[in-house]
Chain A
Amino acid sequence: MIRNILKETTPIMFGYVPMGMTFGLLFQDLGYPWYFATLMGLFIFAGAAQFMAIGLLSTGAGLTEVFISTFMLNSRHIFYGLSILDKYGKWGLRKLYLIFGLTDETYSLVTTIKIPNKVNEQDYYFFITMFNQAYWVLGCTLGVLIGGVVEFNTQGMDFALTALFIVLVIEQWKNIRDILPFAIATLSSIFVLYFFKDQMLIGSILLSLSILLIIRAIKNKSYG
Protein backbone atom coordinates (compact mmCIF):
# COMPACT_ATOMS: atom_id res chain seq x y z
CA MET A 1 0.00 0.00 0.00
CA ILE A 2 2.78 2.46 0.92
CA ARG A 3 4.46 1.88 -2.45
CA ASN A 4 1.23 2.80 -4.22
CA ILE A 5 0.78 5.88 -2.08
CA LEU A 6 4.34 7.02 -2.75
CA LYS A 7 3.70 6.64 -6.45
CA GLU A 8 0.42 8.57 -6.32
CA THR A 9 1.84 11.40 -4.20
CA THR A 10 5.29 11.89 -5.79
CA PRO A 11 4.02 14.58 -8.19
CA ILE A 12 2.65 16.42 -5.17
CA MET A 13 6.06 16.15 -3.50
CA PHE A 14 7.56 17.85 -6.55
CA GLY A 15 5.09 20.66 -6.13
CA TYR A 16 4.95 20.98 -2.35
CA VAL A 17 8.66 20.82 -1.48
CA PRO A 18 9.80 23.73 -3.69
CA MET A 19 6.63 25.69 -2.94
CA GLY A 20 7.10 25.11 0.81
CA MET A 21 10.74 26.16 0.45
CA THR A 22 9.68 29.41 -1.18
CA PHE A 23 7.35 29.99 1.75
CA GLY A 24 10.16 29.22 4.22
CA LEU A 25 12.50 31.64 2.47
CA LEU A 26 9.97 34.46 2.62
CA PHE A 27 9.16 33.61 6.23
CA GLN A 28 12.84 33.84 7.14
CA ASP A 29 12.82 37.55 6.29
CA LEU A 30 10.16 38.25 8.94
CA GLY A 31 12.66 37.54 11.71
CA TYR A 32 10.76 34.89 13.70
CA PRO A 33 12.44 31.70 15.00
CA TRP A 34 12.72 29.12 12.20
CA TYR A 35 10.49 26.48 13.81
CA PHE A 36 7.42 28.66 13.39
CA ALA A 37 7.57 27.92 9.65
CA THR A 38 7.37 24.21 10.50
CA LEU A 39 4.48 24.87 12.89
CA MET A 40 2.58 26.82 10.25
CA GLY A 41 2.95 23.88 7.84
CA LEU A 42 1.75 21.53 10.56
CA PHE A 43 -1.21 23.58 11.78
CA ILE A 44 -2.41 25.75 8.90
CA PHE A 45 -1.45 23.42 6.03
CA ALA A 46 -2.80 25.68 3.30
CA GLY A 47 -0.39 26.94 0.68
CA ALA A 48 -2.16 30.06 -0.48
CA ALA A 49 -3.11 31.06 3.07
CA GLN A 50 0.47 30.70 4.29
CA PHE A 51 1.74 32.92 1.49
CA MET A 52 -0.95 35.43 2.38
CA ALA A 53 0.21 35.15 6.01
CA ILE A 54 3.63 36.55 5.06
CA GLY A 55 1.96 39.76 3.89
CA LEU A 56 -0.41 39.93 6.86
CA LEU A 57 2.42 39.30 9.36
CA SER A 58 4.66 41.95 7.85
CA THR A 59 1.94 44.57 8.27
CA GLY A 60 0.87 43.22 11.69
CA ALA A 61 -2.71 42.68 10.53
CA GLY A 62 -5.56 42.50 13.06
CA LEU A 63 -6.82 39.03 13.97
CA THR A 64 -10.35 39.65 12.66
CA GLU A 65 -8.86 40.58 9.32
CA VAL A 66 -6.69 37.44 9.44
CA PHE A 67 -9.74 35.25 10.12
CA ILE A 68 -11.94 36.80 7.45
CA SER A 69 -9.30 36.89 4.72
CA THR A 70 -8.24 33.28 5.41
CA PHE A 71 -11.85 32.14 5.43
CA MET A 72 -12.55 33.91 2.14
CA LEU A 73 -9.39 32.59 0.53
CA ASN A 74 -10.16 29.00 1.53
CA SER A 75 -13.93 29.14 1.07
CA ARG A 76 -13.58 26.99 -2.05
CA HIS A 77 -12.89 24.07 0.28
CA ILE A 78 -16.54 24.18 1.37
CA PHE A 79 -17.42 22.83 -2.07
CA TYR A 80 -14.70 20.21 -1.94
CA GLY A 81 -16.17 18.72 1.22
CA LEU A 82 -19.69 19.01 -0.18
CA SER A 83 -18.80 16.69 -3.07
CA ILE A 84 -17.10 13.99 -0.97
CA LEU A 85 -19.43 13.74 2.01
CA ASP A 86 -19.42 9.93 2.02
CA LYS A 87 -15.93 9.32 0.71
CA TYR A 88 -14.13 9.77 4.01
CA GLY A 89 -16.09 7.08 5.85
CA LYS A 90 -17.09 6.95 9.49
CA TRP A 91 -16.48 9.77 11.94
CA GLY A 92 -13.38 9.45 14.07
CA LEU A 93 -9.92 10.91 14.47
CA ARG A 94 -8.88 9.67 11.03
CA LYS A 95 -11.79 11.38 9.34
CA LEU A 96 -11.10 14.59 11.25
CA TYR A 97 -7.51 14.50 10.04
CA LEU A 98 -8.64 13.81 6.46
CA ILE A 99 -10.92 16.84 6.59
CA PHE A 100 -8.20 18.97 8.20
CA GLY A 101 -5.81 18.03 5.39
CA LEU A 102 -8.18 18.58 2.47
CA THR A 103 -5.95 20.70 0.21
CA ASP A 104 -6.55 21.31 -3.51
CA GLU A 105 -4.05 18.61 -4.40
CA THR A 106 -5.31 16.02 -1.90
CA TYR A 107 -8.89 16.60 -3.03
CA SER A 108 -7.83 16.18 -6.65
CA LEU A 109 -6.11 12.89 -5.92
CA VAL A 110 -8.79 11.30 -3.75
CA THR A 111 -11.57 12.16 -6.18
CA THR A 112 -9.73 10.75 -9.19
CA ILE A 113 -7.55 7.75 -8.31
CA LYS A 114 -8.75 4.20 -8.02
CA ILE A 115 -8.02 2.41 -4.78
CA PRO A 116 -6.24 -0.96 -4.97
CA ASN A 117 -8.37 -3.96 -4.04
CA LYS A 118 -8.45 -5.18 -0.45
CA VAL A 119 -7.30 -1.84 0.90
CA ASN A 120 -9.27 0.08 3.49
CA GLU A 121 -10.36 3.33 1.81
CA GLN A 122 -10.05 5.49 4.88
CA ASP A 123 -6.52 4.16 5.56
CA TYR A 124 -5.53 4.82 1.97
CA TYR A 125 -6.81 8.40 1.98
CA PHE A 126 -5.27 8.91 5.42
CA PHE A 127 -1.79 8.02 4.21
CA ILE A 128 -2.17 10.11 1.06
CA THR A 129 -3.08 13.14 3.17
CA MET A 130 -0.28 12.46 5.65
CA PHE A 131 2.38 12.04 2.95
CA ASN A 132 1.24 15.25 1.30
CA GLN A 133 1.44 17.12 4.57
CA ALA A 134 4.88 15.63 5.25
CA TYR A 135 6.14 17.02 1.91
CA TRP A 136 4.70 20.41 2.69
CA VAL A 137 6.12 20.58 6.23
CA LEU A 138 9.48 19.38 4.92
CA GLY A 139 9.46 22.12 2.28
CA CYS A 140 8.54 24.88 4.76
CA THR A 141 11.30 23.73 7.13
CA LEU A 142 13.98 23.30 4.48
CA GLY A 143 13.16 26.72 3.06
CA VAL A 144 13.59 28.54 6.34
CA LEU A 145 16.73 26.60 7.32
CA ILE A 146 18.73 26.20 4.13
CA GLY A 147 16.75 28.11 1.52
CA GLY A 148 19.23 30.93 1.30
CA VAL A 149 22.33 28.74 1.63
CA VAL A 150 21.92 25.86 -0.78
CA GLU A 151 21.99 26.66 -4.46
CA PHE A 152 19.74 24.09 -6.07
CA ASN A 153 17.78 25.40 -8.96
CA THR A 154 14.19 24.30 -8.49
CA GLN A 155 12.89 26.87 -10.97
CA GLY A 156 10.04 25.37 -12.95
CA MET A 157 9.61 22.38 -10.64
CA ASP A 158 6.21 23.66 -9.58
CA PHE A 159 4.99 22.78 -13.07
CA ALA A 160 4.51 19.33 -11.50
CA LEU A 161 1.25 20.59 -9.98
CA THR A 162 0.05 21.98 -13.32
CA ALA A 163 0.90 18.65 -14.96
CA LEU A 164 -0.82 16.79 -12.12
CA PHE A 165 -4.07 18.73 -12.55
CA ILE A 166 -3.93 18.21 -16.33
CA VAL A 167 -3.43 14.46 -15.93
CA LEU A 168 -6.27 14.36 -13.40
CA VAL A 169 -8.59 16.14 -15.84
CA ILE A 170 -7.82 13.39 -18.39
CA GLU A 171 -8.46 10.72 -15.75
CA GLN A 172 -11.72 12.43 -14.73
CA TRP A 173 -12.74 12.40 -18.37
CA LYS A 174 -12.07 8.66 -18.56
CA ASN A 175 -14.18 8.12 -15.43
CA ILE A 176 -17.17 10.22 -16.40
CA ARG A 177 -17.19 10.49 -20.25
CA ASP A 178 -19.49 13.47 -20.17
CA ILE A 179 -18.48 16.83 -21.62
CA LEU A 180 -20.95 18.80 -19.46
CA PRO A 181 -18.85 19.47 -16.30
CA PHE A 182 -15.70 20.29 -18.30
CA ALA A 183 -17.58 22.68 -20.57
CA ILE A 184 -19.37 24.42 -17.71
CA ALA A 185 -16.13 24.80 -15.74
CA THR A 186 -14.13 26.10 -18.69
CA LEU A 187 -16.72 28.66 -19.75
CA SER A 188 -17.27 29.80 -16.15
CA SER A 189 -13.53 30.14 -15.54
CA ILE A 190 -12.99 32.20 -18.67
CA PHE A 191 -15.90 34.45 -17.74
CA VAL A 192 -14.68 34.92 -14.14
CA LEU A 193 -11.06 35.37 -15.25
CA TYR A 194 -12.18 38.14 -17.53
CA PHE A 195 -14.34 40.02 -15.04
CA PHE A 196 -13.13 39.03 -11.55
CA LYS A 197 -9.60 37.75 -11.96
CA ASP A 198 -8.72 38.20 -8.26
CA GLN A 199 -11.53 35.92 -7.15
CA MET A 200 -10.99 33.33 -9.81
CA LEU A 201 -11.21 30.10 -7.82
CA ILE A 202 -14.23 30.74 -5.67
CA GLY A 203 -15.93 32.74 -8.44
CA SER A 204 -15.58 29.95 -10.99
CA ILE A 205 -16.67 27.28 -8.51
CA LEU A 206 -19.79 29.23 -7.51
CA LEU A 207 -20.70 30.03 -11.10
CA SER A 208 -20.18 26.51 -12.45
CA LEU A 209 -22.03 24.92 -9.54
CA SER A 210 -24.96 27.30 -10.09
CA ILE A 211 -25.06 26.52 -13.81
CA LEU A 212 -24.87 22.79 -13.03
CA LEU A 213 -27.82 22.98 -10.65
CA ILE A 214 -29.86 25.09 -13.07
CA ILE A 215 -29.26 22.50 -15.81
CA ARG A 216 -30.34 19.77 -13.40
CA ALA A 217 -33.50 21.67 -12.52
CA ILE A 218 -34.37 22.17 -16.20
CA LYS A 219 -33.76 18.49 -16.99
CA ASN A 220 -35.90 17.36 -14.05
CA LYS A 221 -38.70 19.69 -15.11
CA SER A 222 -38.72 18.44 -18.69
CA TYR A 223 -38.80 14.80 -17.54
CA GLY A 224 -41.32 15.47 -14.80
Chain B
Amino acid sequence: MADNSYLIVFILVMTVATVTTRLLPFVIFQKQSKHPMMSYIAKYTPPMIMSILVLYVLKNVDFTSPTSLNTIFAIVVTVVVHIWKKNSLLSIFSGTFLYMYLVQQ
Protein backbone atom coordinates (compact mmCIF):
# COMPACT_ATOMS: atom_id res chain seq x y z
CA MET B 1 0.00 0.00 0.00
CA ALA B 2 1.52 3.25 -1.14
CA ASP B 3 1.73 6.04 1.43
CA ASN B 4 -0.48 8.94 0.34
CA SER B 5 0.78 11.45 2.91
CA TYR B 6 4.37 10.95 1.73
CA LEU B 7 3.21 11.61 -1.83
CA ILE B 8 1.36 14.79 -0.83
CA VAL B 9 4.43 16.24 0.88
CA PHE B 10 6.57 15.04 -2.04
CA ILE B 11 4.34 16.90 -4.54
CA LEU B 12 4.48 20.07 -2.42
CA VAL B 13 8.28 19.95 -2.17
CA MET B 14 8.63 19.44 -5.91
CA THR B 15 6.16 22.25 -6.58
CA VAL B 16 8.05 24.68 -4.34
CA ALA B 17 11.41 23.73 -5.91
CA THR B 18 10.05 24.22 -9.44
CA VAL B 19 8.28 27.50 -8.67
CA THR B 20 11.44 28.80 -6.99
CA THR B 21 13.46 28.35 -10.20
CA ARG B 22 10.79 30.14 -12.22
CA LEU B 23 10.13 32.96 -9.74
CA LEU B 24 13.66 33.73 -8.54
CA PRO B 25 14.82 35.97 -11.44
CA PHE B 26 11.64 38.06 -11.28
CA VAL B 27 12.00 38.58 -7.53
CA ILE B 28 15.72 39.40 -7.65
CA PHE B 29 16.14 41.26 -10.95
CA GLN B 30 12.77 42.86 -11.76
CA LYS B 31 14.02 46.29 -10.62
CA GLN B 32 17.08 46.02 -12.89
CA SER B 33 15.04 45.13 -15.97
CA LYS B 34 15.91 48.43 -17.68
CA HIS B 35 19.65 47.96 -17.23
CA PRO B 36 21.43 47.77 -20.63
CA MET B 37 22.90 44.39 -19.75
CA MET B 38 19.41 43.03 -19.06
CA SER B 39 18.12 44.23 -22.43
CA TYR B 40 21.14 42.59 -24.02
CA ILE B 41 20.32 39.32 -22.24
CA ALA B 42 16.64 39.68 -23.15
CA LYS B 43 17.54 40.13 -26.81
CA TYR B 44 20.01 37.27 -27.21
CA THR B 45 18.85 34.63 -24.73
CA PRO B 46 15.67 33.43 -26.53
CA PRO B 47 17.47 32.49 -29.80
CA MET B 48 20.25 30.85 -27.77
CA ILE B 49 17.82 28.83 -25.66
CA MET B 50 15.79 27.80 -28.69
CA SER B 51 18.93 26.52 -30.44
CA ILE B 52 19.97 24.65 -27.30
CA LEU B 53 16.50 23.07 -26.97
CA VAL B 54 16.66 21.80 -30.56
CA LEU B 55 20.02 20.15 -29.90
CA TYR B 56 18.74 18.88 -26.55
CA VAL B 57 15.75 17.04 -28.00
CA LEU B 58 18.04 15.54 -30.65
CA LYS B 59 20.85 14.55 -28.28
CA ASN B 60 19.84 10.89 -28.06
CA VAL B 61 19.54 10.42 -31.80
CA ASP B 62 22.34 8.14 -32.97
CA PHE B 63 23.35 9.73 -36.25
CA THR B 64 25.54 6.76 -37.15
CA SER B 65 22.50 4.46 -37.20
CA PRO B 66 20.19 4.20 -40.25
CA THR B 67 17.09 4.83 -38.05
CA SER B 68 18.32 8.41 -37.63
CA LEU B 69 17.32 8.92 -41.27
CA ASN B 70 13.69 9.11 -40.03
CA THR B 71 14.63 12.06 -37.84
CA ILE B 72 16.75 13.74 -40.49
CA PHE B 73 14.06 13.35 -43.13
CA ALA B 74 11.34 14.74 -40.83
CA ILE B 75 13.55 17.71 -39.89
CA VAL B 76 14.28 18.52 -43.54
CA VAL B 77 10.56 18.38 -44.38
CA THR B 78 9.71 20.63 -41.40
CA VAL B 79 12.32 23.21 -42.41
CA VAL B 80 11.50 23.17 -46.13
CA VAL B 81 7.73 23.40 -45.59
CA HIS B 82 8.26 26.21 -43.10
CA ILE B 83 10.47 28.28 -45.38
CA TRP B 84 8.16 27.60 -48.31
CA LYS B 85 4.71 28.08 -46.75
CA LYS B 86 5.60 30.25 -43.70
CA ASN B 87 2.90 28.49 -41.68
CA SER B 88 4.16 27.08 -38.36
CA LEU B 89 1.29 24.69 -37.79
CA LEU B 90 1.56 23.25 -41.29
CA SER B 91 5.33 22.75 -41.07
CA ILE B 92 5.17 21.17 -37.61
CA PHE B 93 2.40 18.78 -38.64
CA SER B 94 4.03 17.81 -41.93
CA GLY B 95 7.21 16.88 -40.07
CA THR B 96 5.40 15.14 -37.22
CA PHE B 97 3.03 13.06 -39.35
CA LEU B 98 5.88 12.04 -41.62
CA TYR B 99 7.95 11.06 -38.59
CA MET B 100 5.05 9.07 -37.05
CA TYR B 101 4.50 7.29 -40.36
CA LEU B 102 8.20 6.43 -40.66
CA VAL B 103 8.72 5.14 -37.12
CA GLN B 104 5.47 3.16 -37.04
CA GLN B 105 6.35 1.09 -40.12
A-B complex is real:
yes
- Asked if residues B16 and A209 are in contact (CB atoms below 8 Å), the reply is no
- Asked if residues A78 and B21 are in contact (CB atoms below 8 Å), the reply is yes
Tally B residues with Cβ within 8 Å of A.
69
Binary contact readout B10-33 vs A (1 if CB under 8 angstroms, 0 otherwise): 111111111111111110011011
- Asked if residues A170 and B52 are in contact (CB atoms below 8 Å), the reply is no
- Of B9, B13, B32, B78, which contacts A70 at CB under 8 A? B13
Residues of chain B within 8 A of A120, CB atoms compared = none
Q: Does A117 contact B (CB under 8 A)?
A: no
- Asked if residues B88 and A104 are in contact (CB atoms below 8 Å), the reply is no
- Of B2, B59, B82, B101, which contacts A200 at CB under 8 A? B59
Q: Does A148 contact B (CB under 8 A)?
A: no
Cβ-closest chain B residue relative to A101: B22
Binary contact readout A66-89 vs B (1 if CB under 8 angstroms, 0 otherwise): 111011001111111111111010
Known A-B contacts A86-B33, A160-B92, A181-B44; the reply to A78 vs B25 at CB < 8 A is yes
| Complex Cα spacing A166 to B4, Å | 41
- Asked if residues A44 and B52 are in contact (CB atoms below 8 Å), the reply is no
- Of B22, B38, B43, B74, which contacts A74 at CB under 8 A? B22
Known A-B contacts A67-B17, A155-B103, A162-B57; the reply to A167 vs B52 at CB < 8 A is no
Residues of chain A within 8 A of B11, CB atoms compared = 36, 39-40, 43-44
- Asked if residues A166 and B78 are in contact (CB atoms below 8 Å), the reply is yes
- Asked if residues A81 and B23 are in contact (CB atoms below 8 Å), the reply is yes
Q: A14-B96, A83-B42, A83-B49 are in contact. List 17 more A-B contacts (CB 8 A).
A: A66-B13, A67-B17, A81-B22, A107-B49, A159-B95, A162-B75, A166-B78, A166-B95, A167-B78, A167-B88, A185-B47, A185-B48, A186-B55, A189-B51, A209-B48, A212-B41, A212-B48
Residues of A within 8 A of B (CB): 7-8, 10-11, 14, 30-33, 36, 39-40, 43-46, 49, 53, 56-57, 60, 63, 66-68, 70-71, 74-86, 88, 99-100, 102, 104, 107-108, 111-112, 153, 155-157, 159-173, 175-176, 180-182, 184-186, 188-190, 193, 197, 200-201, 204-205, 208-209, 212-213, 216
Residues of B within 8 A of A (CB): 1-2, 4, 6-7, 9-26, 29-30, 32-33, 37-38, 40-59, 71, 74-75, 78-79, 82-83, 88-89, 91-93, 95-96, 99-104
